[in-house]
Amino acid sequence: MLFPEGVLIDGVTGAVSPATGRYVKKLSTLRDLYETPPLVDAYLAEHGDVDAYEVVEYRPDGSDVCFGTTIMAPGRIGSEYFLTRGHYHARSDRGETYYTQSGEGLLLLHSRSGACSVLEMRAGVCAFIPPAWAHRSVNTGPGKLVFVWTCTSDAGHDYGEIATRGMRQRAVERDGRPTIVPNQNYRD
């Protein structure tokens, strides 16, 4: 039987207490997602293999819902901001919410029909991600980007399609400001 529980989330560090799991993504594992992978190699040579982001989960066994935090480091590869892998949910009838706690970022989304969207991520904005929309978050600020995500436990992840085809849009710095540009490498 499942029991109710209050879970403490620190909006600045992204700590979740109690948590049921966590993982860290190293920058080197994200190399080929960037527009210019050799620039990732140069970054790694200069800074080492930094933690690009961390995901902390509260996913009780047998529960239909789960939530957690994503904590993204700030940084850029050339002009492109640090990013998450990006994915569709394995179940195309499962959406999600991203509630930003601190920092600044952009949430890139697209659907298989080619519709694109970009949502601002800043403290207080709760982004609605409808089912069947691919989503990737990007840290455009000088500090950590921390957001709380909530979805159903059976949503799953489909990373393959984005890994192969890319997202339709990229977030880059132009004239000192975050700017959305088409992804030249996107495979239709």
Q: Cβ closer to ligand F6R: 89 or 172?
A: 89
Please give the span between the terminal C-alpha atoms of the chain, in angstroms, as a whole number: 46
Give which of 70, 81, 44, 77 is closest to 146, Cα–Cα. Answer: 70
Q: 52 is in the binding site of which of ligand F6R, Zn ion, none (Cβ under 5 to 8 A by kind)?
A: none
Give which of 37, 168, 152, 163 is closest to 115, Cα–Cα. Answer: 168
Q: 55 is in the binding site of which of ligand F6R, Zn ion, none (Cβ under 5 to 8 A by kind)?
A: ligand F6R
Least distance between ligand F6R and beta carbon 43 (Å): 18
Least distance between ligand F6R and beta carbon 94 (Å): 9
Binding mask 70-109 for ligand F6R (x = CB under 6 A): x-------------xxxx--------x-------------
Q: Are 133 and 86 in contact (CB under 8 A)?
A: no
Question: Which of positions 34-63 make contact with ligand F6R (CB under 6 A)?
Answer: 55
Give which of 119, 130, 91, 114 is closest to 167, Cα–Cα. Answer: 114
